[in-house]
Structure 1
Amino acid sequence: MLLKDKVVIVSGIGPGLGHELALEAAQQGAKLAICARTASKLDAAEQEIRDASLDTPILKVPTDIADKSQCQNLVAKTIEAYGRIDALINSAYNPGAFDLVENADLDGWRAAMEVNLYGTMALTLEVVPHMKKQGGGAIVMINTMVTRRPLQTQAGYGASKAALASATQHLALELGPYNIRVNSTYMGWMWGPPVEGYMQQQAEATGVSVEDQKAAVAQNIPLRVIPEDGDCAKAAIFLASDYARAITGAALDVNGGEYLPH
């Protein structure tokens, strides 16, 4: 198991990738601390893990990462419960307001920045001293393909994640001497509850079936399929594990090849 007996914090627990990250970490033997703003989402994630017949220790801490004091509380409770933090997977995000740049409500951009950059950094900086003290750790940022391939109406979200990408590179440089690895996964389309719900809404509004929408998206992906969110989660788990102990500052594209770096 890739994370056997490691203590892993996963932020942004919710239907889709958040649940899959927690489930996969549990399947790989981790001791979990999970957070989301809504306690019911944490309960649902715990139930999913128990339904998989896993007896993983699970610490649930409702947390808004945009509030520094709540980040401090999460980390303090994790240390109190487990004594260390081996990995942090930053999955919490705010999508911002979807609109063309020329029509942008910059308050929506600020809201996205508060979570996607400042909140993520606040939680990360709470974890760093503990990782230094224990001799190392792994931090994984869940980023987005939107920073690679711009999509109309997602500029605010993309800008906040692009800022996080820059901060991540600086963190990797500065924390490397302490054996703390900092890497990113760049997610594209992921098949799971959020995308399924979106496509169902589109089907009702436009009359184009979910299957036809999926096929249209898949045509632009070299693997010709929208990746499952559970498969995307595995990439983040890999970067959190000792299998990636020689990797830091990496930007791993997890999108079926829809973006091909060169």
Structure 2
Amino acid sequence: MLLNGKVVIVSGIGPGLGQELAVEAAKQGASVAMCARTMSKLDQAEAAIAALDLGIEVLKVATDISDREQCANLVTQTVARFGRIDVLFNSAYNPGEFGPIESANLDSWRAAMDVNLFGTMALTLEAIPQMKKQGSGAIVMINTMVTRKPLHTQGGYGASKAALANATSHLALELGRYNIRVNSAYMGWMWGPAVEGYLQMNASAGGPSVTEQAAVISKNIPIGHIPDDADCAKAAIFLGSDYACAITGAALDVNGGEYLPH
């Protein structure tokens, strides 16, 4: 098991990637501290882990990561329960409002920045002292293909995640001396509640059916289909594991080949 005996924090628990990260971490042997703003989402993830019948210990802490004090509380409770933090998976995000930049609502941009950049950094900065004390740690940022392959209407979301990408590179440079690795997984289209809901919304507005839209998207993906949330989570788990012990500052594209760097 890739995370056997480790303690992980997963932010942004909810239907989709956040929950899949928590479940996969449990499958790989980790004790899991989970956070989200809504306790019901944490309850659902806890139930999914309990259904595995692995005896994995779970900590649930309702947390808004845009509030630094709440981030500190999450870290404090995690260390009090488990004694350490081996991996931080920064999955929480705010997509903001979709639309062309020329008519952008900059308040929506700021709200996305508060979570995607400042919130993520707040939680990360709270976790770093414990990792330094241990002499080891791994931080995995969940980023997006949108920063590498711009998509229509997602400029605000992409800008916030591009800022996070730059901060991540600097963190990797700064923290390597403490045996703390910092990497990013750049997610593309992921088949799960978020994408299904988006396609259904388009279909309900008079657009093509969900199946037709998925087929169009899949034509641009070399593996021929939209990757599943759970499969994408596995790539992030790898970055947090000791199998990636020689990797820091890396940008792992997890999109079925839709974006192919030169």
Q: TM range, normalised to the smaller chain?
A: over 0.9
Equivalent position of 2:206 in the other structure: 206
The one-letter code matched in structure 1 to 2:12 is G
Counterpart CA distance in 1 for 2:207 and 2:218 is: 19
Equivalent position of 2:165 in the other structure: 165
Counterpart CA distance in 1 for 2:112 and 2:55 is: 35
Equivalent position of 1:6 in the other structure: 6
Counterpart CA distance in 2 for 1:86 and 1:164 is: 21
**TM-fit CA distance, 1:224:** 1.0
The one-letter code matched in structure 2 to 1:79 is V
User: Where in structure 2 are there 5+ consecutive unaligned residues?
Assistant: none
Equivalent position of 2:189 in the other structure: 189
The one-letter code matched in structure 1 to 2:240 is A
Counterpart CA distance in 2 for 1:186 and 1:153 is: 18
Equivalent position of 1:250 in the other structure: 250
CA RMSD of superposed structures (Å): 0.7
The one-letter code matched in structure 2 to 1:62 is A
- Please identify, of 150-159 and 241-250, the stretch whose mean Cα deviation from structure 2 is larger: 150-159
Q: In the comparison of the two structures, how many residue pairs are matched?
A: 262
Counterpart CA distance in 2 for 1:249 and 1:208 is: 40
Equivalent position of 2:41 in the other structure: 41
- Please identify, of 200-209 and 232-241, the stretch whose mean Cα deviation from structure 2 is larger: 200-209
**TM-fit CA distance, 1:207:** 4.8
**TM-fit CA distance, 1:194:** 1.0
The one-letter code matched in structure 1 to 2:10 is V
The SS at the match of 2:62 is coil
Equivalent position of 2:73 in the other structure: 73
The alignment status of 1:87 with 2:87, answered yes or no, reads yes
| CA deviation profile, 1:122-161 (whole Å, cap 9, x unmatched) | 0000000110110110000000000001111111100000
Equivalent position of 2:227 in the other structure: 227
User: Where in structure 1 are there 5+ consecutive unaligned residues?
Assistant: none
The one-letter code matched in structure 2 to 1:107 is D
The one-letter code matched in structure 2 to 1:158 is G
Equivalent position of 1:19 in the other structure: 19
In the superposition, the TM-score normalised over structure 2's length comes to: 0.99
- Please identify, of 204-213 and 137-146, the stretch whose mean Cα deviation from structure 2 is larger: 204-213
Counterpart CA distance in 2 for 1:125 and 1:83 is: 18
The SS at the match of 1:32 is strand
Counterpart CA distance in 1 for 2:218 and 2:140 is: 27
